[in-house]
Structure 1
Amino acid sequence: MTQHPTKTPQFFLTSPSTCPYLPDQQERKVFTHLVGERAPDLNDLLTQGGFRRSANIAYRPACETCRACVSVRILAEEFAPSKSQKRVLRRNADLVGTAYAAEPSSEQYDLFRDYLLHRHAEGGMAEMTVLDYAMMVEDSFVNTQIIEYRRRGPDSFLTGEGQGKLVAVALTDEMADGLSMVYSFYDPAEEHRSLGTYLILDHVKRARDVGKPHVYLGYWVEGSRKMAYKVRFQPQEHLMPDGWQRCTVGD
Structure 2
Amino acid sequence: MHIFQQAQNEELTDCPYLGDQRKSYCYFLASRVDAAEMSLLLAQGWRKFGLYFFRPECPQCRNCIPLRVRVADFAPSRSQRRVLRKAQGLEARFGPLRLTDQIYDLYRRHSQGRFDQSADPEDFLYNFYMPSCPALQTELYYNDELIGAGFLDQGSDCLNSVYFFYDPAYAHLHPGTFSILREIEYAKGLGLSFYYLGYYVPGCRRMGYKDHFRPREHYDWSTGVWSEAIGPPEGPVEFQ
Paired residues of 1:181 and 1:218 also in contact (CA < 8 A): yes
Which amino acid is 2:138 matched to? Answer: I
Residue 203 of structure 1 deviates from its aligned partner by 1.1
1:26 is aligned, of 16, 22, 27, to 22
Which amino acid is 2:228 matched to? Answer: R
Q: Distance in 1 between matches of 2:4 and 2:106?
A: 38
RMSD: 1.8
Equivalent residue, structure 1, for 2:189: 209
SS of the aligned residue for 1:58 comes to strand
**Most deviating of 86-95 and 59-68:** 86-95
**Most deviating of 189-198 and 60-69:** 189-198
Which amino acid is 1:143 matched to? Answer: P
Paired residues of 2:92 and 2:179 also in contact (CA < 8 A): no
SS of the aligned residue for 2:159 comes to strand
Could you tell me the TM-score, scaled by structure 1's length?
0.86
Which amino acid is 1:245 matched to? Answer: S
Residue 128 of structure 1 deviates from its aligned partner by 3.4
2:40 is aligned, of 31, 45, 56, to 45
1:14-163 aligned at under 5 Å gives the runs: 14-36=10-32, 38-121=33-116, 126-152=117-143, 163=144
Paired residues of 1:79 and 1:234 also in contact (CA < 8 A): yes
Cα distance per residue 1:144-174 (max 9 Å; x no partner): 011111124xxxxxxxxxx2x2111110111
Q: Distance in 2 between matches of 1:31 and 1:52?
A: 9
Which amino acid is 2:25 matched to? Answer: K
Residue 53 of structure 1 deviates from its aligned partner by 1.0
Paired residues of 2:4 and 2:29 also in contact (CA < 8 A): no
Residue 45 of structure 1 deviates from its aligned partner by 1.4
Which amino acid is 2:183 matched to? Answer: H
Aligned CA distance change for structure 1 residues 239 and 9 (closer, same or farther; 3 Å): farther
Q: Distance in 2 between matches of 1:62 and 1:74?
A: 24
Which amino acid is 1:10 matched to? Answer: Q
Calculate percent identity across the aligned residue pairs. Answer: 30
Q: Distance in 2 between matches of 1:130 and 1:61?
A: 26
Equivalent residue, structure 2, for 1:248: 230
Q: Distance in 1 between matches of 2:17 and 2:231?
A: 18
Residue 50 of structure 1 deviates from its aligned partner by 0.5
1:238 is aligned, of 185, 203, 218, to 218
Paired residues of 1:104 and 1:137 also in contact (CA < 8 A): no
Do residues 221 (structure 1) and 216 (structure 2) align?
no
Equivalent residue, structure 1, for 2:155: 175
Residue 9 of structure 1 deviates from its aligned partner by 6.9
Q: Distance in 1 between matches of 2:156 and 2:36?
A: 9
Paired residues of 2:200 and 2:207 also in contact (CA < 8 A): yes
Q: Distance in 2 between matches of 1:213 and 1:172?
A: 15
- Which protein has the larger Cα radius of gyration, Structure 1 or Structure 2? 1
Residue 75 of structure 1 deviates from its aligned partner by 1.0
Which amino acid is 2:13 matched to? Answer: S
Residue 141 of structure 1 deviates from its aligned partner by 2.3
Could you tell me the TM-score, scaled by structure 2's length?
0.90
Which amino acid is 2:136 matched to? Answer: Q
Gaps of 5+ in 2: 234-240
Q: Distance in 1 between matches of 2:216 and 2:3?
A: 34
Q: Distance in 2 between matches of 1:103 and 1:199?
A: 17
Aligned CA distance change for structure 1 residues 250 and 196 (closer, same or farther; 3 Å): farther
SS of the aligned residue for 2:62 comes to coil
Equivalent residue, structure 1, for 2:236: none
Paired residues of 1:51 and 1:60 also in contact (CA < 8 A): yes
Residue 43 of structure 1 deviates from its aligned partner by 2.4
